[in-house]
Amino acid sequence: MRIAVIGAGYWGPNLIRNLYETRACSEIICCDLDSRKLQKIKDRYPGIQTESQYKKILDRKDVDAVVIATPVSTHFPLGKEILESGKHVFIEKPMTASPEEASELLRLSEKVKRVLMVGHTFEYSPPVIKIKELIDKGELGKIYYISASRVNLGLHQKDVSVIWDLAPHDFSTLFFWLKEQPARVSAIGKACVQKKIPDVAFINLEFPSGCIAHVQVSWLAPSKLRRTAIVGSKKMLVYDDTENIEKVKIYDKGVNYVDPESFGQYQLSYRTGDVVSPRLETYEPLFMEMKHFIECCRENKKPRTDGQSGLRVVRTLDAAERSMRNNSVVVEIPA
């Protein structure tokens, strides 16, 4: 496989490193408008080819696939040109800047029969996959609600709100776990530092199954939190991605409630049992993500995080952003 990576800013070098580690690429080409970034990549990987004009890569018939790690506003025009040139494409999250763009890319990828994969990295992460197994096996029972915090000091973005920057991770993870997308979304946020670019948002999601979720995202917080609590009818779970070893803890806690026939029979008993931390695999999610992309390109297979999954997340981001900018009005998301 010959793969090009467009964008060697903050995130692109991580994708390049993991593509190298798959040992499945005969050539990796790095493209960036900034020659200093290309030089940095060359210093680190002397064998890598560099290019400042992405169009030259699209003209090369021997390049099979392109990975996009550029700012969100460029994802759609680049993705469209790449697919039209007959190459497979991997686009970093969020897939596009609007649901209309996401739908168009999805249609195009189906028409030209090329892979469209989106960088929902957490769906390749061992704790997230373990939690999915637990939910699917019914270990937690019916999921009542999920509450997630993804906050830290920085990195403030110049072109998108904190919702478009950070919430794709939580949305893709929630939809992966619950196997559904929300029916309704509302959000409140505030632009504290940069004018008109909200750096904190509190988002509420309501799913068709009845599960509700709250996602808190911020670039302006005293410490780093990556904590998700899942409360089910049988057990509860905490996923803390800042923990080194025990990232997932399952609490055998709950309440037993018997419907009373009379007031005298009113019964509510709290249960507090063991806390268990399951063993987790130790691979890097990005490595699995890149490996999966290569496999999908080779076999022309639908990726786990395909264009449809990108569209679901973009639709929800768009709904949350609209709610936040319209006094927290509840926005319905069509099924």
Ligand X SMILES: NC(=O)c1ccc[n+]([C@@H]2O[C@H](COP(=O)([O-])OP(=O)(O)OC[C@H]3O[C@@H](n4cnc5c(N)ncnc54)[C@H](O)[C@@H]3O)[C@@H](O)[C@H]2O)c1
Closest approach of Cβ 25 to ligand X, in Å?
A: 19
**Binding flag, residue 10, ligand X (CB under 6 A):** yes
Residue among 223, 221, 214 nearest 185 (CA):
214
Per CB under 6 A, the segment of 64-72, 142-150, 235-243, 256-264 that binds ligand X is 64-72
Residue among 280, 279, 275, 284 nearest 238 (CA):
275
**Binding flag, residue 213, ligand X (CB under 6 A):** no
Give the residue carrying structure tokens 């890569």: 57
Q: Compute the radius of gyration of the chain from its Cα atoms.
A: 22
**Binding flag, residue 22, ligand X (CB under 6 A):** no
**Binding flag, residue 119, ligand X (CB under 6 A):** yes
Per CB under 6 A, the segment of 3-11, 55-63, 140-148, 178-186 that binds ligand X is 3-11
Show the tokens assigned to 201: 């948002």
**Binding flag, residue 90, ligand X (CB under 6 A):** no
Q: Is 34 or 110 the residue whose CB approaches ligand X more closely?
A: 34
Pairing mode of beta strands 27-31, 49-51: parallel
Say how far apart CA 86 and CA 66 lie, in whole Å.
11
Say how far apart CA 264 and CA 272 lie, in whole Å.
25
Q: Is 115 or 166 the residue whose CB approaches ligand X more closely?
A: 166
Closest approach of Cβ 114 to ligand X, in Å?
A: 20
Residue least distant from ligand X (Cβ): 9
Show the tokens assigned to 152: 């830290």
**Binding flag, residue 313, ligand X (CB under 6 A):** no
Binder of ligand X out of 19, 58, 65, 69 (CB under 6 A): 69
Give the residue carrying structure tokens 């509190």: 202
Query: Helix 307-325 crosses helix 99-112 at what angle (to 10 degrees)?
Result: 170
Give the residue carrying structure tokens 């068709």: 208
Per CB under 6 A, the segment of 6-14, 98-106, 131-139, 257-265 that binds ligand X is 6-14
Say how far apart CA 29 and CA 22 lie, in whole Å.
15
Binder of ligand X out of 1, 17, 20, 71 (CB under 6 A): 71
Q: Are 29 and 48 in contact (CB under 8 A)?
A: yes
Residue among 285, 309, 315 nearest 116 (CA):
309
Q: Is 235 or 247 the residue whose CB approaches ligand X more closely?
A: 247
Say how far apart CA 120 and CA 114 lie, in whole Å.
19
Closest approach of Cβ 55 to ligand X, in Å?
A: 9
**Binding flag, residue 127, ligand X (CB under 6 A):** no
**Binding flag, residue 7, ligand X (CB under 6 A):** yes
Residues 270 to 289 in contact with ligand X, rule: CB under 6 A: none
Closest approach of Cβ 208 to ligand X, in Å?
A: 27
**Binding flag, residue 32, ligand X (CB under 6 A):** yes
Q: Which residues bind ligand X (CB under 6 A)?
A: 6-12, 31-34, 37, 54, 69-72, 74, 92-93, 119, 121
